[in-house]
Structure 1
Amino acid sequence: MEKSISSVFTILKRRSFPALLMFAAVLGGAYAYISTAPKMYESAIRLMVDEKRGTSVSELGRNLTQVSNSPGNSPLANQAEVVKSERVLQKALEIASAKTSPETLNSITTKQLRRGLRVKVVPATNIIDLSYQSEDSQLAANLVNSVAMAMIRDHVQAISSEATKIREFLETKELPKARQALMVAEMEESAYRERTGIISFDEQTKSLVQSLAALEDQQRTLGTQLQEARSRGESIRRITDTSTLNNAYTTVRGGQDDELKKLRAKLAESETKLIEARLKFTESNPIVIQLSEERDALRNLYSQGLNRVSPDNQSIPDNNIADDQISQQLVSSLITSNIERAAIENKLTLVNASVSELRSRLNQLPAQQRPLTALTRKREETATSLKFLQDKLEEARIAEAQKVSNILIIDPAKPATIPASPKIAVVLALAIAIGIVSAIALIILLEMLDNKLHDQDETEELLQLPLLGVLPRLPAKATILQPANFFFNEISLVEPYRMLFKNLEFSTAENLHLFVVSSTISGEGKSIVTSHLGAISAMLSRRTLIIDADLRKPVQHKLFNLNPQPGIAEVFDGTKTLTQAIQPTEIENLWVLTCGDFYGSASQMLESAAMRHIITEASEHFDLVIIDTPPLTICADAITLGRITEGLLLVTRPKVTVKEMLQRTITELSRIQIPVLGVVMNEITSQNQKYYPYSNQASQSKRVDKRTVLRR
């Protein structure tokens, strides 16, 4: 867990500059937006649609101002749409013109006002919030207040207009007709009274009329029921094909009688046997004759059974027997329907007799009373209708005159003092959040795209090999070892190489005498590591020889300020012996075998037995032989020499070594069984090393005595 956290902090530190640059860019964009965006001020007003506030003294006024709560009808939603209508917005601009300069208001159209006006219905309430934003806070407050006033006036005008239409309709059409009808009814009644001299009806007349009306209603009801019963019975009779009730009864009894059921079953069985016998034999066959006689006997028994259950011994065809449940139910329904019809006919006969009796009694009353009763009823009904219309007319006049609206202003709009947008806190918070996310995304992207090594922890985790040393970046003065004063006088440079040398000694079971130094690609500093590692070995009193086997790009003679000839090429050609070709350096106990003047095939020379002899001879004369070879991805020279040495030291460099190449190199070396002594990380800086072994102050206080190192 601690290692993971440490890796995260290492990555953050490594990518801090681009991440901070991304974060600063996002914040800069937010600052630019805040600086350039116009400051908008928002004013809001709160309205309430109150059904109780629309109470009127008239019922019509209450109905017109009543807020509908029917399902699917939302008064608040309706008002929210009305407030953005063209007529309301036009009225709002007219109202606002009284408090706003024409120059400012002329630039605002109803389309712009509709686009900037925000309408919000507060859930679970009858409240509507209206808001408007503008660069002028006074203009925003004036416009939103004007919209609210226009909305109220439009609502009042709508109620008044509806009441006006009702009043005009009553005054011009309905009331004149009602008055004329009442006047005609009064004149007819008055004329009849004058002509007949009748003043009032007798209570008995009223009672007789009411009774007669009730009986007539009953008569009509019974007639309808009788017609339904006849239709139902006729339909069932057609379905069952039954002519009389006796036949229907016989049909049901015949189908339900157990003895007849058994006889029908036996008769069916006998018919089947007879058919089968006729198929096999002739009509004169005894079997056929016997079966025919049995069938006829069963038919006679079945006919006698039908006569037994049939009233009056009527004969019923076999196909009319209701031997299934549905047929029996239909026939039973036919019988029941006929009984009900007979009962209704009897009851209707009695009602008809009662009606005739009442009519006869009414006919005995004075003939003048009946017309008078009808005329009186007509006058009363006409007067009631006229009174109702007059009441509605008064209600319409009251509703037309009242100036009441259901819409109430709760909180009027006031000029805002703080801009509503841009919201600096929100913009900065979003910018910080987006900046952090963008920076993290950039870090992840860079890490995904970056395939280079960065630190020692990453190297160990990637290769699963021992990291023998972590070497610092050398100053320019320390790369050249002749003179070597600067390098040996800096303990912060010497100690990492000494630690590497000791780790190399401990990595082998026996004393280390001969090994190869190489890298994956060019530029990782394997030649400098070779030269300085040889210098440390010489400093520790070991006779050390550095062989520059990088024949394609030799550099060891440059690091020690030596002549490139004689070298390996001269020893290989036989013009020089190994002792003659080896060149001493300024450092005591350190010699270098340069590449020499070489023009042939490097691979052919390194693969030859002569090269093996040179290396063997060198290992016999020196305590330690270090061979500098080309990078492994360029040629196989390091592999060739690695087979005849004790192992290979692999040099890596942060931000240079490619992870994939390094992994493939280690895999290939393991496959061909080239011993890898370990890995060294070269040119580590303070950015990719957490702990530096020695400070500058320590390097100044502790010096290596150059007299013990340099050649006298």
Structure 2
Amino acid sequence: MSERLPTLRDGDQLPSTEFQPAPPPPEELWGEPVDESGGGGLPIKRLLMALRRYWWIVVLAGGVGVAAGLFATTLAEPQYSASGTIWLEQTSSAEEAQGPVRSPELFQGYAWQELLRTGLVLDSVVITQRLYLEARTDDREDMSSLFLSDQARYGSYVLSVDAAGESFTLATNDGVEVDRGPVGGPVGQEVGIRWRPNAEVLSPGRVIRFSLLSPRTVTDRLKEQIQSRMDQEGNVLFMELQGPDPEDVTGTVNAILARFEQVAADLKRIALDEQTEALKEQRDRAEQDMIAAELALRDYQIYTITLPSEQDRAGPINPGVAQTQDPVFTNFFGMQIQANEIERDRQRILEVLESSGDSEVPISQLELIPSVQNSSELRQIFGEYNQRQAQYRALRERYTPEHTLVKAEGQALATLEDETIPRMLTDLAGALDTRAVELESRIETTSQELQAIPDRAIREASLERTFITARDQFLNINQRWELSRLASLSSVSDVRILDYAEPPQFPSDDPRAFLAILAFGACLGLGMLTAVLLDRSDDRFRYPEDVSRGLGLEILGTIPRVSPKAGANFEVQEAFRELRLRLMYAHGSAGPLMVAISSPGPEEGKTFISSNLALSFAETGRRTLLIDADTRRGDMHHILGVERKPGLVDYLSGGRAEGLIQKTEYPNLHVLASGTRLARAPELLTGQQMQRLLTRLKSHYEVIIVDTPPMAAGADAFQLGLLTGAMAIVFRAGTSDKALVEAKLKSLGDVPLRILGGILNDLSARVIKSYGYHSAYYLPGYEAEDEAFEDDDSPRALPANAGAAD
């Protein structure tokens, strides 16, 4: 041992240099990681590090995403859009007056769009276009001769041909055989299929999968797919349909247009025929009434021609003219006839109302009543009723009673029959009653003057008036019948196709790219999320923020991973220089720097950190003492080339102080080895003797670093931290257990232990660069090196990897 080594005899006082800690460096030199997350949550750099750490998961997820994206493209097909345009005829009142006789439009406004989606139009299209058949495009072309019978059994089928190409088997999708026979014969007769494919279609070993759907099911689906709109004037109807096959969707649109035009023409023709037939019935009845009235008048005239003349009661005969009558007689006669007709019309109206009850109102009978004919409102209502009735019958021929158009037309007829017509007839009967009372009053006023009116004249005038009324009614109905018949004969469809659909060249919607990107993004996102979750659930310290955020400790320094290559650890040396500077700043200027170095568990580099940190202080010229207080398995003597005994345990157990502190080959660096292994060494470290020893050593050294046992080994590390007054904890990236450290620190409770911070050891170059520490550690080309001399016998530097295993 060197004579310069200090001894611990009582009374010896070694001179000590006043310790002046360096001023605190600028904040940017500490290399703290910058939180780029914008606040709470996961830092962006931490996320990137997690993805880089579990890159294989991200790559695997990306590969799965590519496969899933390719598979997703097979599940969807590009959609092609085909459209057509229909012209809807609308005639104004002026055009009707100048043009040929024609009926009013069949539908108004958006009712045309409803007609376009009805089964009357679409059912036929589904059958003619064979939309009930679902199969691959190639198979569908070979199945062009397949049709369904009325007893078809809908479902999914598989048609398979044997290897020799001699027989076929038709089975359901569940494997139930439904038909078997030779190639060239009919296929599927048992399930209502009419198909006889030839041998070229049923080639050896071929398998055809297809599905047969109910035409009504396809119609309902087609209703939802059809897109239609009308212009503001209601003259143009635009129709559009999308589908995976451009030829099929074009053919379907053109078939719908043609069927729509045909249905509109048929409905209008049927409506005109129904209206003409109804008018013919009314015309025949009116003709019979007119003939009956004419016969009654003629028979009465024949009967009265042989009776005595009533000329003496009539007015005077003026020369040169026929017979004239007194004006009072004429007025009274007219009022009497009018009163009789009013009463008769009123009675007939009431009889019709009472006899109809809940049944249909006999419009044909009401139209024969003169008072009803003279009412413009009733004529208009009856015209509307006849038109709606004809239209309702036409719709019933085509639709079921549950259809929307049939229900709407039936509701309108019911409203006319149950409410409008009875109300207007009741009002008319009341008006006739009022008119009759007025006429009776006037007749009574002039009754004295008119008693001489002959009864035969009154009767004849009444019969003549009845005939005239029946004749006028017949002529009116006959004219309407002729107009309706002409309109039926010259019926022109209200619908014309302006533009047929053309096969589209480009898809209007292609979801394959979106599905592929969605599948790839979902898989990649799931892989990235898995990587982040695995990183966050890792119970090992791997990043500086695990210490700063997880434990709330300040990062004193980060030590890069030691490289086995010679001369490649300049970053490690610079890291210890920065750790030395920051440790001085954290400790403060009160007395010499004395700190205990510990770690959560074994083999985490606390001895490596302690030895290299002590050497870093010694290189600055400060008298530095390194105490190996790991009495359980300390190995500092091997690293620095000194003797383990006598050491700390020997002194604490009552040994001598001579030769206790040993000199190393590094200037200013002294070592106090662990000493003899004793079972009671932990108790010795917590005794008064250890406290007195540290107190005496503080007066001889500027820097005292105590290498303690791991925290998991017991309370030794915490006791030595209390004795030294400060403690730094070494964490090894990827090794130190978070739960262990948290439990140990939590168990301290209110113990006044000053922990200066954490030192993250064995940090990979990737993490260092990601967190920005490399800029402070090392600049290539600016390494601090000694210039070579021939007779240079200066002590070699402590290897950077000395003690790296512990």
Shared fold, TM over 0.5: yes
Residue 106 of structure 2, aligned match among 30, 51, 65: 65
Q: 1:410 to 1:59 in 2, by over 3 A?
A: closer
Q: Retained in 2: the 8 A contact 1:116–1:133? A: no
Q: Does 1:161 align with 2:270?
A: yes
Residue 629 of structure 2, aligned match among 549, 572, 575: 549
Name the CA distance, whole Å, in 2 between partners of 1:183 and 1:5.
104
Residue 46 of structure 2, aligned match among 5, 8, 11: 11
Q: Does 1:537 align with 2:617?
A: yes
Find the counterpart in structure 1 of residue 316 from structure 2.
none
Q: How does 1:162-181 map to 2 (within 5 A)?
A: 162-171=271-280, 173-181=281-289
Q: Sequence identity of aligned pairs in percent? A: 19
Q: How does 1:75-114 map to 2 (within 5 A)?
A: 75-76=111-112, 78-79=114-115, 81-82=117-118, 85=119, 87-93=120-126, 95-96=128-129, 103-104=143-144, 106=146, 110=215, 111-112=217-218, 114=220
1:210 to partner: Cα distance? 4.8
Q: How does 1:504-519 map to 2 (within 5 A)?
A: 504-506=583-585, 507-519=587-599
1:536 to partner: Cα distance? 1.8
1:204 to partner: Cα distance? 5.4
1:623 to partner: Cα distance? 5.0
Find the counterpart in structure 1 of residue 464 from structure 2.
376
CA deviations over 1:549-595 (Å, ceiling 9, x no partner):
33456454565587866654444445x65655666666455455554
Residue 682 of structure 1, aligned match among 729, 744, 761: 761
Q: 1:376 to 1:657 in 2, by over 3 A?
A: farther
Q: How does 1:511-590 map to 2 (within 5 A)?
A: 511-520=591-600, 524-551=604-631, 554=634, 556=636, 567-574=647-654, 577=656, 587=666, 589-590=668-669
Find the counterpart in structure 1 of residue 558 from structure 2.
470
Q: How does 1:616-635 map to 2 (within 5 A)?
A: 616=695, 624-632=703-711, 635=714
Q: 1:210 to 1:372 in 2, by over 3 A?
A: closer
Find the counterpart in structure 2 of residue 275 from structure 1.
none
Q: Retained in 2: the 8 A contact 1:34–1:422? A: no
Secondary structure of the structure 1 residue equivalent to 2:724: coil
Q: 1:3 to 1:444 in 2, by over 3 A?
A: same
Name the CA distance, whole Å, in 1 between partners of 2:468 and 2:583.
131
Name the CA distance, whole Å, in 2 between partners of 1:389 and 1:665.
111
Q: 1:519 to 1:215 in 2, by over 3 A?
A: same
Q: How does 1:336-355 map to 2 (within 5 A)?
A: 354-355=442-443
Q: Does 1:697 align with 2:780?
A: yes
List alignment gaps of at least 5 residues for structure 2.
Answer: 1-33, 132-139, 147-209, 310-321, 344-435, 799-806
Name the CA distance, whole Å, in 2 between partners of 1:414 and 1:580.
107
Q: How does 1:233-312 map to 2 (within 5 A)?
A: none
Residue 606 of structure 1, aligned match among 679, 685, 689: 685
1:611 to partner: Cα distance? 3.6
Name the CA distance, whole Å, in 2 between partners of 1:447 and 1:359.
120
Secondary structure of the structure 2 residue equivalent to 1:176: helix
Name the CA distance, whole Å, in 1 between partners of 2:230 and 2:731.
68
Secondary structure of the structure 1 residue equivalent to 2:296: helix
1:141 to partner: Cα distance? 0.6
CA deviations over 1:376-421 (Å, ceiling 9, x no partner):
2222332233334333433443454456444454543221222345
Find the counterpart in structure 2 of residue 230 from structure 1.
none
Q: Does 1:122 align with 2:229?
A: yes
List alignment gaps of at least 5 residues for structure 1.
Answer: 220-347, 478-485
CA deviations over 1:226-280 (Å, ceiling 9, x no partner):
xxxxxxxxxxxxxxxxxxxxxxxxxxxxxxxxxxxxxxxxxxxxxxxxxxxxxxx
Q: 1:552 to 1:408 in 2, by over 3 A?
A: farther
Find the counterpart in structure 2 of residue 208 from structure 1.
332
Q: 1:353 to 1:153 in 2, by over 3 A?
A: closer
Q: Does 1:186 align with 2:268?
A: no
Q: 1:476 to 1:184 in 2, by over 3 A?
A: same
Find the counterpart in structure 2 of residue 332 from structure 1.
none
Secondary structure of the structure 1 residue equivalent to 2:455: coil
CA deviations over 1:346-381 (Å, ceiling 9, x no partner):
xx9999775334344444222222222222222233
CA deviations over 1:503-537 (Å, ceiling 9, x no partner):
33343214535320124566653332112212323
CA deviations over 1:141-198 (Å, ceiling 9, x no partner):
1012112221222222222222223334444x43332222221112122222334459
Name the CA distance, whole Å, in 1 between partners of 2:617 and 2:515.
63
The amino acid across from 1:710 in the alignment is R
Secondary structure of the structure 2 residue equivalent to 1:681: strand
The amino acid across from 2:771 in the alignment is Q
1:449 to partner: Cα distance? 5.0
**Bigger helix share:** 1
CA deviations over 1:210-239 (Å, ceiling 9, x no partner):
5458999999xxxxxxxxxxxxxxxxxxxx
Name the CA distance, whole Å, in 2 between partners of 1:521 and 1:124.
82
Count the aligned residue pairs: 564
Q: Retained in 2: the 8 A contact 1:160–1:401? A: no
Secondary structure of the structure 2 residue equivalent to 1:598: coil
Name the CA distance, whole Å, in 2 between partners of 1:627 and 1:490.
25
Q: Retained in 2: the 8 A contact 1:44–1:129? A: no
Find the counterpart in structure 1 of residue 505 from structure 2.
417
Name the CA distance, whole Å, in 2 between partners of 1:659 and 1:704.
45
Q: Does 1:50 align with 2:88?
A: yes
Q: How does 1:590-669 map to 2 (within 5 A)?
A: 590-595=669-674, 598=677, 600-601=679-680, 603-613=682-692, 615-616=694-695, 624-632=703-711, 635-653=714-732
Larger radius of gyration: 1
Q: 1:40 to 1:497 in 2, by over 3 A?
A: closer
Find the counterpart in structure 1 of residue 475 from structure 2.
387
Q: Retained in 2: the 8 A contact 1:512–1:646? A: no
The amino acid across from 2:143 in the alignment is E
Name the CA distance, whole Å, in 2 between partners of 1:377 and 1:553.
142
Q: 1:5 to 1:135 in 2, by over 3 A?
A: closer
Q: 1:354 to 1:386 in 2, by over 3 A?
A: closer
The amino acid across from 2:103 in the alignment is R
Find the counterpart in structure 2 of residue 710 from structure 1.
796
1:427 to partner: Cα distance? 4.5
Find the counterpart in structure 1 of residue 75 from structure 2.
37
Name the CA distance, whole Å, in 2 between partners of 1:490 and 1:498.
13
CA deviations over 1:658-700 (Å, ceiling 9, x no partner):
7787778778879432233444333343424314134473366
Secondary structure of the structure 2 residue equivalent to 1:697: coil
CA deviations over 1:430-466 (Å, ceiling 9, x no partner):
6788689878877886786568766557855777765
Name the CA distance, whole Å, in 2 between partners of 1:204 and 1:562.
162
Q: Retained in 2: the 8 A contact 1:60–1:392? A: no
Q: Larger deviation: 611-620 or 628-637?
A: 611-620
Secondary structure of the structure 2 residue equivalent to 1:644: helix
User: Structure 1-normalised TM-score?
Assistant: 0.64
Q: 1:645 to 1:187 in 2, by over 3 A?
A: same
1:91 to partner: Cα distance? 1.9
Secondary structure of the structure 1 residue equivalent to 2:556: strand
The amino acid across from 2:123 in the alignment is Q
Q: Retained in 1: the 8 A contact 2:62–2:524? A: no
Name the CA distance, whole Å, in 2 between partners of 1:472 and 1:373.
133
Q: How does 1:297-336 map to 2 (within 5 A)?
A: none
Q: Retained in 1: the 8 A contact 2:730–2:759? A: yes
Find the counterpart in structure 2 of residue 247 from structure 1.
none
Name the CA distance, whole Å, in 2 between partners of 1:448 and 1:391.
94
